[in-house]
Amino acid sequence: MTDTPQEDELFDTFATLADTLVDDFDVVDLLQTLVESCVRMLEIAAAGILLANGEGELEVVASSSEAARLVELMQLSAEAGPCIVSFTTGEVVSLPEITKAPAEWSRYRDSAIEQGFASVYAIPLRLRETTIGALNLLGESVGTLGVRDVRIAKALADVATIGILHERALVESNVVREQLAQALQSRVLIEQAKGVLSHTHDISTDEAFTVLRSYARSNRALLSDVARRVVSRELII
pTM score, whole prediction: 0.67
Q: What is the mean pLDDT of residues 5-15?
A: 65
pLDDT in tens, 116-154: 999 999 999 988 888 889 999 999 999 888 888 888 888
Report whether pLDDT(13) > 50. yes
Task: Report how far residue 84's alpha carbon sits from residue 157's, in angstroms, rounded to the nearest whole number.
Answer: 16
User: Pseudo-torsion of CA 142, 148, 154, 156, nearest 10°?
Assistant: -110
Task: Report how far residue 160's alpha carbon sits from residue 126's, in angstroms, rounded to the nearest whole number.
Answer: 9
The number of C-alpha atoms within 13 Å of 224 and in the hemisphere containing its C-beta is 18
Task: Report how far residue 3's alpha carbon sits from residue 11's, in angstroms, rounded to the nearest whole number.
Answer: 10
CB 44 within 8 A of CB 203: no
Pairing relationship of beta strands 130-139 and 119-127 according to DSSP bridges:
antiparallel
Task: Report how far residue 147's alpha carbon sits from residue 133's, in angstroms, rounded to the nearest whole number.
Answer: 22
pLDDT in tens, 148-162: 888 888 888 888 787
Ordered structural domains, the chain, with CATH:
5-170 (3.30.450.40)
Question: Quick one: pLDDT band at residue 22, thresholds 50, 70, 90?
Answer: low
In one-letter notation, the amino acid at residue 110 is D
pLDDT in tens, 56-79: 888 888 888 888 888 888 888 878
Tell me the H-state helices in the chain. 5-19, 27-41, 66-78, 82-89, 106-114, 147-171, 173-201, 205-218, 223-231
